[in-house]
C-alpha cells in the first residue's frame, strides 16, 4: 500500500462530519461577545528582540560601570574583537528564541535546549582559544565570586525581559523560562567580561560560562513552577 | 460574506473587535479543533470542554496573533497547550488504571461509509505525537512548516513523525485488508513528506 492510498483512506475517514453541538458554538460566541474589544497586536518580532538585547546590554553596562571596567581594559584588541561579537550573536539568538516562545505558532529555528548547550559550548571554545593561562589558584573562591556577581545582574535582566514580553503568551512555560534565563545569564556574562580581570582559562571557561547554565536552569524551574501554580495563565492580556 | 474569507483576514478583523468575524472563525474552526481533541483520545464531553476552554484562551491572548502570519499554527499551538494542560491535570487527578479504562477500545473499529474505519480508530495505534502530526497534516490541511510551528518543533522532526506514522498505518490497514495491494511502496513518500 503506498502513501497515496493511505492519504485517500485518511481523507475518506476525515470526511465524516465534525459533531459540534451548535448550542456550544453559540455559548462560546456569547462568552466572547461580552468582552470583545479591539486589541493592539504585539509589535513585530524584530522589535521585541531588539528591545531584549538593548535591555541586557544596558544591565551589563550598568553593572560594569558600578564595579569597574577592569576586564575590557586588560583585554587585547583580538580578545575584544572575538568575545563581544560572540556574546552579541548568542544574545541575539537567545532574544529571538525568547520572543518565539512568547508568541504561539512561531517559527523555532533552534530548540531551546540546543541553544543553551550549543551557545555555552561555543562561548567556552572562544574563551579556550583566547586564554592560555592555566593556573587554578583560588579557582573555587574566585569562581564563586564571579558566579554570584553574574547571577546578581542576571536577575534584573530577567525581570526587565519579562517586562518587555509581558503581553506574550508562552505555550511552553518551561521552555520560555529556559530561554529567558539564558538571555539573562548572557547579560551577567557580558558584565563579567567587562569587569573581571581574571583571565585564567579554567576560571573564565568554567565560572563565567556557568552563569548562563545556572541562570537558564533557574529560568526553566521558575517557568515550570509558574505553570504548576497558575495553570499557565497568560502573562499579560490585551 | 465571511464564509469564504481567508482565516487570516477574519482573525485581523476579530482583533479589531468585529463580532461577526469572531463568530465566523468559531464556526469555521471549531469542527476541526473539536476533532483534534477527539483524535487525541478525549471523550466527546471532554472535547467540548477543551474546545470551550481553547476559545476562551484564544480570546484572552488574541493580541499575540501578528497579522500576516499563518493563523492555523497559532490556533493549534494554543489548542495543543490546552490539551497538554488538560492531560497533566487529569494525570494528577486520576490513577493510571482509571485512565486506561477511559481509553477507547481500538478493536471495535467503528466505520464511516465505505467500510473505512473512522479517523479516531484509524489513528488509535499511533503515538500521541504521531497522531497529532497526521491530524494536523491530513485533517486540518496544514503544511509541514505550519505543523512544525504549531508543535514547536522542526520540519525534520515533523517529517520523521509523519513517516513513522505512515509505516504504522500501512501495517494496520494492510492487516485490515483495506490496502488492496501489499506494503512495499516505501519509496513513495508523497503523503508523509
Query: Hey, which residues 3-42 in chain A have their CB within 8 Å of chain B?
Result: 3-7, 9-21, 24-25, 27-29, 31-33, 35-42
Cell digits of residue A145: 565570586
Owner of C-alpha cell 497529532? B132
> Which residue has better confidence, A64 or A5?
A64
When pLDDT is cut at 50, 70 and 90, the band that residue B116 belongs to is: low
| Torsion sign (Cα): A196, A201, A206, A211 | positive
Between chains, do B122 and A10 touch, taking CB under 8 Å as contact?
yes
The residues, any chain, with a CB within 8 Å of residue A31's CB and separated by 6 or more, are: B52, B55, B56, B59
Cell digits of residue B94: 486520576
CA–CA separation, A57 and A1 (whole Å):
58
Reported as a single tens digit per residue, the pLDDT across A17-38 is: 567 889 999 999 999 988 899 9
Reported as a single tens digit per residue, the pLDDT across B1-53 is: 566 788 999 999 999 999 999 999 999 999 989 988 988 766 788 889 999 99
Decide: A189 and A212 in contact? Cβ < 8 Å. yes
Cell digits of residue B117: 474505519
Between chains, do B51 and A31 touch, taking CB under 8 Å as contact?
no
CA–CA separation, B133 and B138 (whole Å):
8
Residue B73 is predicted with a pLDDT of: 95
Query: Hey, which residues 64-123 in chain B have their CB within 8 Å of chain A?
Result: 64-67, 69-70, 72-78, 80-81, 85, 89, 112, 114, 116-119, 122
When pLDDT is cut at 50, 70 and 90, the band that residue A40 belongs to is: very high
Residue B1 is predicted with a pLDDT of: 54
**Percent of chain B scoring above 70 in pLDDT:** 76
Decide: A28 and B30 in contact? Cβ < 8 Å. yes
> Which residue has better confidence, A154 or B1?
A154
Domain spans of chain A, in order of start: 3-33, 45-230
* Segment B107-115 mean pLDDT: 51
The residues, any chain, with a CB within 8 Å of residue A77's CB and separated by 6 or more, are: none
Where would I find the H helices in A102-208?
112-130, 139-164, 173-195, 201-202
- Which of A35, A177, A31 is closest to A101 using CA atoms? A177
The residues, any chain, with a CB within 8 Å of residue A41's CB and separated by 6 or more, are: B15, B63, B64, B65, B66, B67
Ramachandran sector of residue A160 (left: φ over 0; alpha: ψ -120 to 50; beta: rest): alpha
Cell digits of residue B102: 477511559
- Which of B87, B115, B116 is closest to B99 using CA atoms? B87
Reported as a single tens digit per residue, the pLDDT across A75-112 is: 999 999 999 999 999 999 999 999 999 999 998 878 99
Residue B43 is predicted with a pLDDT of: 78
Q: What is the pTM of this model?
A: 0.84
Domains present along chain B, CATH in parentheses: 1-103 (1.10.1740.10), 106-193 (1.10.10.10)
CA–CA separation, A112 and B178 (whole Å):
42
Reported as a single tens digit per residue, the pLDDT across B177-192 is: 665 544 444 333 344 4
Residue A189 is predicted with a pLDDT of: 97
**Percent of chain A scoring above 70 in pLDDT:** 95
The whole-chain average pLDDT of chain B stands at: 80
Cell digits of residue A147: 558566579
Q: Other CB atoms closer than 10 Å to residue A35's CB: what's the count? A: 10
The whole-chain average pLDDT of chain A stands at: 90
When pLDDT is cut at 50, 70 and 90, the band that residue B118 belongs to is: confident
- Which of B47, B27, B29 is closest to B87 using CA atoms? B47
* Segment A52-66 mean pLDDT: 96
- Which of A14, A39, A57 is closest to A153 using CA atoms? A57
Residue A160 pLDDT greater than 60, yes or no: yes
- Which of B51, B72, B109 is closest to A13 using CA atoms? B109
Q: Which of B34, B148, B191 sits opposite A3 (nearest CB)?
A: B191
**Percent of chain A scoring above 90 in pLDDT:** 77
> Which residue has better confidence, B48 or B121?
B48
Residue A154 is predicted with a pLDDT of: 96
Cell digits of residue A101: 516562545
Decide: A183 and A161 in contact? Cβ < 8 Å. yes
> Which residue has better confidence, A183 or B107?
A183
Residue A196 pLDDT greater than 90, yes or no: yes
Between chains, do B170 and A6 touch, taking CB under 8 Å as contact?
yes
When pLDDT is cut at 50, 70 and 90, the band that residue B141 belongs to is: confident
**SS3 assignment, position B193:** coil
Distance from CA of B178 to the nearest CA of A (A): 9
First to last CA, chain B: 35
Cell digits of residue B150: 504549531
CA–CA separation, A151 and A207 (whole Å):
11
Q: Please, which residues bridge with residue B117 across strands?
A: B111
Phi, psi of B184 (to 5 degrees): 135, 5
Q: Which of A33, A175, A231 sits opposite B19 (nearest CB)?
A: A33
Residue A71 pLDDT greater than 60, yes or no: yes
CA–CA separation, B88 and A238 (whole Å):
27
Gyration radius of chain A over CA positions: 23
CA–CA separation, B36 and B48 (whole Å):
11
Between chains, do B60 and A234 touch, taking CB under 8 Å as contact?
yes
Residue A124 pLDDT greater than 60, yes or no: yes
Amino acid at each position: 500500500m503506498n502513501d497515496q492510498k493511505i492519504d485517500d483512506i485518511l481523507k475518506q475517514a476525515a470526511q465524516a462530519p465534525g459533531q459540534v453541538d451548535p448550542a456550544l458554538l453559540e455559548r462560546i460566541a456569547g462568552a466572547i461577545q461580552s468582552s470583545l474589544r479591539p486589541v493592539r497586536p504585539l509589535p513585530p518580532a524584530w522589535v521585541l528582540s531588539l528591545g531584549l538585547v538593548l535591555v541586557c546590554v544596558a544591565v551589563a553596562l550598568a553593572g560594569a560601570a558600578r564595579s569597574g571596567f577592569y576586564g575590557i581594559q586588560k583585554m587585547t584588541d583580538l580578545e575584544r574583537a572575538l568575545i563581544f561579537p560572540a556574546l552579541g550573536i548568542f544574545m541575539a539568538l537567545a532574544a529571538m528564541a525568547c520572543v518565539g516562545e512568547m508568541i504561539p505558532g512561531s517559527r523555532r529555528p533552534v530548540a531551546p535546549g540546543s541553544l543553551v548547550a550549543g551557545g555555552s559550548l561555543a562561548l567556552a571554545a572562544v574563551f579556550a582559544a583566547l586564554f592560555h593561562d592555566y593556573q587554578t589558584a583560588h579557582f573555587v573562591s574566585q569562581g564563586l565570586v564571579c558566579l554570584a556577581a553574574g547571577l546578581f545582574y542576571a536577575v534584573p535582566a530577567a525581570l526587565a525581559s519579562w517586562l518587555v514580553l509581558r503581553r506574550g503568551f508562552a505555550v511552553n512555560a518551561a521552555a520560555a523560562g529556559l530561554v529567558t534565563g539564558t538571555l539573562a545569564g548572557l547579560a551577567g556574562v557580558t558584565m563579567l567580561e567587562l569587569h573581571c580581570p581574571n583571565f585564567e582559562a579554567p576560571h573564565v571557561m568554567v565560572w563565567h560560562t556557568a552563569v548562563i547554565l545556572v541562570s537558564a536552569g533557574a529560568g526553566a524551574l521558575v517557568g515550570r513552577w509558574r505553570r504548576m501554580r497558575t495553570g499557565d495563565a497568560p502573562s499579560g492580556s490585551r | 460574506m465571511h464564509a469564504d474569507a481567508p482565516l487570516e483576514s477574519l482573525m485581523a478583523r476579530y482583533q479589531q473587535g468585529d463580532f461577526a468575524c469572531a463568530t465566523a472563525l468559531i464556526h469555521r474552526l471549531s469542527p476541526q479543533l473539536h476533532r483534534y481533541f477527539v483524535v487525541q483520545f478525549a471523550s466527546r464531553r471532554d472535547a467540548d470542554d477543551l474546545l470551550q476552554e481553547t476559545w476562551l484562551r484564544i480570546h484572552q491572548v488574541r493580541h499575540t496573533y501578528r497579522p500576516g502570519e499563518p493563523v492555523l499554527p497559532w490556533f493549534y499551538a494554543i489548542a495543543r497547550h490546552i490539551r497538554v494542560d488538560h492531560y497533566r491535570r487529569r494525570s494528577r487527578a486520576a490513577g493510571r488504571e482509571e485512565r486506561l479504562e477511559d481509553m477507547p477500545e481500538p478493536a471495535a473499529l467503528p466505520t464511516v461509509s465505505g467500510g473505512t474505519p473512522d479517523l479516531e480508530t484509524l489513528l488509535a495505534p499511533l503515538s500521541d505525537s504521531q497522531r497529532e502530526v497526521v491530524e494536523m497534516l491530513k485533517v486540518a490541511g496544514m503544511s509541514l512548516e505550519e505543523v512544525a510551528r504549531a508543535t514547536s518543533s522542526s520540519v525534520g522532526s515533523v517529517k520523521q513523525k509523519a513517516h513513522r506514522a505512515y509505516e504504522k498505518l500501512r501495517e494496520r490497514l494492510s492487516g485490515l485488508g483495506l490496502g488492496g495491494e501489499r506494503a512495499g511502496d516505501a519509496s513513495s513518500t508523497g503523503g508523509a513528506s
